[in-house]
Structure formats: structure tokens, C-alpha cells
Amino acid sequence: MQEIDPIILEKVNTWLEGNYDEQVKQDIRKLLDDKAYTELTDSFYRDLEFGTGGLRGIMGPGSNRINKYTIGSATQGLANYLKKTYPNEQVKVAIAHDSRNNSDLFARITAEVFSANGIYVYFFEALRPTPELSFAIRTLGCKSGVMLTASHNPKEYNGYKAYGEDGGQFVSPADKAVMDEVAAIKSIDEVKFERVESNIELISTAIDEQYLKKIVTLSVSPEAIKRQKDLKIVFSPIHGTGITLVPKALELFGFENVVLVEEQSTPDGNFPTVVYPNPEEKEALTLALKKAQEVDADLVLATDPDADRVGIAVKNTDNEFILLNGNQTGSMLINYLLTAWQESGKLTGNEYIVKTIVTSNLIEAIAREKGVTYYNTLTGFKYIGELMTKFEGQQTFIGGGEESYGYLVGEFVRDKDAVVSAAFIAEMTAYYKDKGSSLFEALLDTYIKYGFYKEKLISITKKGKTGAEEIKALMEKFRDNPPETLGGSKVITLKDYELRVETDLTTNTTTPIELPKSDVLQFITEDGSIISARPSGTEPKIKFYCSVNGKLESKEAFKQTDEKLEAKIDAIMNDLGV
């Protein structure tokens, strides 16, 4: 018979005897009575880690779960950090939440703890997208902000994203300082939960209007939109916050034919019509694609629960709707922006774009040809935000993005933004339609000009304590014994972002990597394939990013070339043995 680890039991008893509410204690006792030791172990084997992006986890009782007490401790730690960092100032913060179950409750607890610590809170009175929180922090002169969301995770999850005064998520050294303050909270008795009403101010629609007004000023092809105002767009917020701003943004840009997926337009934390509320998953767009076929749409847009990611579908040359992946959409968006800026004479040589190290190198090829500076950052949009803050007032940020369906246009926000991205994807579609082309045909033209870059993300889920150990062992194996060949091509470069060293395996020489430390390994082959291995920072997964490329001779050769590159990815994954 399975027994519970004595160390786990000790932590369980701390909660049963401590200053926790009776409902939480009842839930824990039930797990004990049911001998649900695996669940108890996963709930208590560690303290839910406040990482560089904040918290994310399954909701429930326990130190490794999202609940009133882990949210409260995180907020107390952040409050302590803010008071030490800005000792002689009235510190202000902004708080928003998405449509997830308990997000509103956790937002309220966060506001109460801040208010009890003498911090002034701007509190969104109803659910709002993550990028609007970033905008609010910047607009209202806040020192920090918190978004209650678990992005596109399943319904059991919730989370807590913490932001700095530039509207971006905390980066080094502030992230470590915040993490230290959160870790220093050793008892729930240290958390001040008593709400101070005078320190909380509700935010209504005024910020919505300011934000929407700003993003409309970014439009580069208003004339094309005027001519294509009847472009048929199907939009689904997948039961999330996108419903609050995306339809308004599309309308303000000038689009008059937007069809909502009604079954998914009501915010609902149970996400009843999907398995995962993730626009990266085809299943999540089933209803949107059905609606698109009914109305013969030009474009399908779908946003995740906190509206920082957007997925799209377009018609291919066979008139079938296909989903573009994050690399394809990001590449097309950057290509459109640089082309439109070039055509309107806006490029001065002082502009730049940014992508992450696991995002398609097609973006680099486009930027090089247009003569626009490009930067690579580590995975995580906070690093793009950090660069934007660094270059603010010196260089002009046009746009940027990452393969995980997150993009940004303009400098008003410091996080990925599905609201502005949806508007610009619609503008881009109108621009190409105005030229007698579709978005898919424009993608093929891009491949013919710059090379056919094909990327695929393979995620392997390893849950709980044993899963975390398996992921660690897998990374150690690749680090100590990198593969010699992948997909029939010799591995010539190993980039270890944890050790911050790039090794030329043909000469065995090393050069430093000028980026912060991160647990990522990249294998680069002789034929230009790039394979990245990275444990997820927010989910119990290890992710493999495969990028291969070849020449596309003509639009007619697309399917054949696509199959060839797909087979190459399969061969690479087979060689990795995962």
C-alpha cells in the first residue's frame, strides 16, 4: 500500500494547523481520507515557484497550487519589493484579469493585499486583455502591475503575471529581486489581507478608448482598408477577453464585415466548446472554421483567454481553409509591415524588428533584404519588451514576435498583443487583396523570394515531480552527448544558452553567447536546420523547435516541397529519439 512521504505530511499538517480558512482545510482532509497521496504529493511537494514570469499552476489547496494563499504570498512579496525599491514614493499598480474561473477572485485578493500594504491600486472593473494592462501601467504611471491569467492553459489552471514600470514583465536584475522577496515569505501570517478601500480605484472604459485610439494611429494602409472594408472576417475570442476589444479595434481600423462566433463570444472559464482554449490548436478553431465556410470568409481570427495570442486561418490555392502557424503569421506580419513602411517612405534606417531565438529565420532574411536592423532575444516576450525599453527614444520599433502566436506592432505596449495584431493581420489581408492576391499566395511569394522555411514544435508533457525529473535528465543527456547528425546532416554548431557558450563542433572552438542564461540547447546542422530543446517555464513540458528550409521553385511546387521538408523534420525527431 502506498504511503505518504513524512516530509509531505508535515507540510500538509502545517496547512491543517495554520491560519488557513476552513474550506481549504476540509479539502485537504478529504484528500487524506481518500488516500489521494499522489495528488497530495503534487500539491505539497514544493512551494509553487514564483518564476521570472510570475506564477502558473493548477488551482486547488496546497503550496504547489494556485489559491488565495499562494496568490497572497506572491503579492506580499511583490509589495515588499516595490516598497523597498521606491521608498519615498506613493507606489501605484494596475490589476486586470481574464475570463478564467476564479480570476476575478484572485484579482480582488491581489488588490486587497496591495491596498493593505499602502500601495495604490488601479483595478479594472471587468475582464480585460493582458496587453491593455501593459498599456495601463505605462499610461497611469504605475510602478508595477499584475494580470491574473494562465494564458492558453487548460481550465484547471490559473496564474499571476507580474509587470515592471515599463509595462513589460520583470527582467534581470529586478526579476530575481522580486523572486527573492516572494521566497522570503515563510508564513501566511506575514501576508496582509485586510482591504483598504481608499487605496483602490476602479478603471472603466476610459483606458479602452485611449488604447484603441493609439493603435489606430499605427495603421499603414488605410486606403487599402477603405477599398476592402467589406473584407469578410470571422472572429472568435474562445470564451476569453478578446471580445472586449478586438471587434472594436477592427471596426475602428475600418472593417465593416466582422462575423463573431457566437457560441464562443461569452466569457466562460470552463471553455465549454473546446478541449484547450489555445488558438495554436486546430480543434479550438473548429467552430470558427465552420462559420468561415458558411460565410465564405477571407480571414479567420481567434484569440486566447487573455488575448495576447492570436491564431489565424486563410484559404489556400484549393479554396480550403488552413491554419497558419505562429512562424508563418509572424513572418508575414513583419514582411507586410516592412513592405508597407518602405512603400510609404517611412523607413529611415533607424527602425528595427525583434524575434526570439526559436522563431523562424525567415524573419531575419526579410529584414536583411529590406535593410532593417533585427535582434534575436531569448524565448519570452519580456525580452522583446526589455529591448524596446532600452531603445526607446533612440530607435523606432516597427514590430516583433515569437513563434508561439504572440506579436506586437508599435511601442504603446510591452507584451504580446492580440488586439493590435488582429487589426494588423486584417489590414495585411486587405492590403494583399487590394493587390489581387490572397494572404496564402503572398506567403508562397515570400517563400519563393526568401526560401521555404518550415518549422514545427513538438511538445512532450511530463507531469508532476517525476515528470520534472525526466525533463531534467533529458536535457542533461543532450548537453553531455549532443547528436552527431540530424536528418542526415552533420551537426556543426551547439549553442548552450545555459552555459552561454556557442561551440563550433568542426573546430571545437567556443565563443560566448551575449544573452542572459536560459535552459535552451540549439543544434545547427550543415544544411541550415536548427533544432532547439527547451523545458517550458510555465507548463510541465519539454519543447523541441525544428526549423528546416529549402528552395521553393514555384507556387505549384509548394505541396511537394512541403512534404519533403516535413519528412526531414520527422527524420530529425527520430534521430533525437523523442
Cα–Cα distance measured from residue 455 to residue 530, given in angstroms and rounded to the nearest whole number: 9
Fill in the DSSP letter of residue 134: H
Q: What is the CA radius of gyration of the chain?
A: 24
Residue 492's Cβ-side half-sphere holds a number of Cα atoms within 13 Å equal to: 10
> At CA 364, angle to CA 434 and CA 490, rounded to 5?
130
For the chain, the straight-line distance linking the first and the last C-alpha, in angstroms and rounded, comes to 33
Residue with cell 542564461: 517
What is the C-alpha separation between 491 and 458, in angstroms, rounded?
A: 20
Q: Which one of 73, 103, 134, 151 is the catalytic residue?
A: 151
Count of C-beta atoms within a 10 Å radius of residue 552: 23
C-alpha cell of residue 103: 480570476
Q: What span, in angstroms and rounded, lies between the C-alpha atoms of 551 and 220?
A: 31
Q: How far is CA 266 from CA 64, 95, 129, 224, 242, in A?
A: 31, 22, 14, 32, 10
Which of 496, 566, 489 minimizes the C-alpha distance to 533?
496
Residue 276 has what DSSP assignment?
S
Angle between helices 439-450 and 362-370 (to 10 degrees): 80
CA–CA distance, 88 with 301 (Å, rounded to integer)? 46
Ramachandran class of 216: left when φ > 0, alpha when ψ lies in -120 to 50, beta otherwise: alpha
Give the distance from CA 220 to its chain's centroid: 25
C-alpha pair distances (Å), 263 with each of 121, 157, 237, 475: 34, 22, 10, 42
CB 313 within 8 A of CB 285: yes
Q: State the CB neighbour count (10 A cutoff) for residue 363.
A: 29
Tell me, letter by letter, the H, E, C secondary structure of 401-429.
EECCCEEEECCCCCCCCHHHHHHHHHHHH
Task: Compute the distance between CA of residue 532 and CA of residue 521 in angstroms, rounded to an integer.
Answer: 6
Q: Strands of 288-422 (E only): list them.
A: 299-303, 310-315, 321-324, 351-356, 373-377, 396-402, 406-409
Q: Rounded to whole angstroms, how far apart are CA atoms 426 and 428?
A: 5
What cell numbers appear for 521 in the block? 540547447
Answer yes or no: 151 catalytic.
yes
Give the distance, in angstroms, between the CA of residue 205 and the centroid of all CA atoms in the same chain. 25
Tell me the backbone φ, ψ of residue 551, rounded to 5 degrees. -95, 135
Q: Please report which residue ranges of 435-557 form alpha helices under DSSP H.
A: 439-450, 464-480
Task: Locate 130 and state its grid cell.
Answer: 493582458
Instruction: Give the separation between CA 540 and CA 459, rounded to whole angstroms.
Output: 10
Smallest Cα–Cα separation from 408: which of 439, 434, 444, 382?
Answer: 382
Question: Which residues are catalytically annotated?
Answer: 151
